[in-house]
Amino acid sequence: MLRCVLLFLQGFIYAQPQTDYHIPDSFNTVKNEMYLTAEEKEVIRYINYVRVNPQQFLKQYLNASRADTTNSYVKSLQVQLQHLKPLALVYPNRKLYRIAKSWALQAGKLNVTGHQGFSKRARKFSKIKPFSECCSYGLNTGLEIVLQLLIDDGVKNLGHRKCLLSHHTLVGVCIKKHKGYVYNAVLDFSDN
């Protein structure tokens, strides 16, 4: 199932210009964060775009794509974005970035997936209490990562989608190499 989603996303992303959306500069919460790579910044920008203008994101990236509209996960995302009210922006946070980076590096080197040791990592790096973590595998561009987590194909509780569209306002994003999937992205979210 993951391979099908990856193939869909890769075909879709390469057909779409990466900068064909407009987020007002006041929504660009990452412009002064020099510790983030350009793609890590793009992940946050796309998260903010879908949160601030879900219907436009739906129109521009899901409805205009070659998405399999018979896929129940794509359908449920379409319905949710049609009715979603705008949400607060997310802001990058260095402590959450360090937590995400530690897992992205470790998971990549060990060739593992999942959220093993999430609570322990959070305690080790700071007093900040992450409430949610999302991991993406095989993708390395902001739009691909955000679409994969929003569609959340095969995840029955839609945990990644819920996290991206939740009340959380702080995020740490890190994209690193992964032995088995080439890339992995870790996103850690919190409210404080």
Between these two residues, 117 and 106, which has the higher pLDDT value? 106
The CATH number of residue 161's host domain is 3.40.33.10
Structure confidence at residue 115 (pLDDT): 79
Domain that holds residue 83: 2-16+36-190
pTM: 0.85
The answer to whether residue 69 is domain-embedded is yes
Structure confidence at residue 180 (pLDDT): 94
Structure confidence at residue 7 (pLDDT): 42
The answer to whether residue 25 is domain-embedded is no
Angle (nearest 5°) at CA 126 between 187 and 38: 35
Q: What is the pLDDT of residues 3-48, one digit of tens each?
A: 444 444 444 444 444 445 555 676 789 999 999 999 999 999 999 9
Give Cβ neighbours of residue 25 (< 8 Å, ≥ 6 apart). Answer: 31
The answer to whether residue 23 is domain-embedded is no
The answer to whether residue 26 is domain-embedded is no
Question: For the chain, how big is the Rg over CA atoms in Å?
Answer: 16
DSSP string covering 33-59: -TTS-HHHHHHHHHHHHHHH-HHHHII
The answer to whether residue 104 is domain-embedded is yes
Give Cβ neighbours of residue 5 (< 8 Å, ≥ 6 apart). Answer: 148, 151, 153, 154
Q: What is the pLDDT of residues 125-171, one digit of tens each?
A: 666 666 889 999 999 999 999 999 999 999 999 999 999 999 999 99
- Count of domains observed in the chain: 1
pLDDT band at 119 (very low <50, low <70, confident <90, very high): low
The answer to whether residue 156 is domain-embedded is yes
Going by C-alpha positions, the residue among 163, 162, 170 that lies closest to residue 80 is 162
Distance (Å, whole) CA 78 – CA 178: 31
Give Cβ neighbours of residue 123 (< 8 Å, ≥ 6 apart). Answer: none
The answer to whether residue 141 is domain-embedded is yes
162-to-31, 139, 152, 159 alpha-carbon distances in Å: 25, 20, 10, 5
The answer to whether residue 183 is domain-embedded is yes
Distance (Å, whole) CA 31 – CA 100: 19
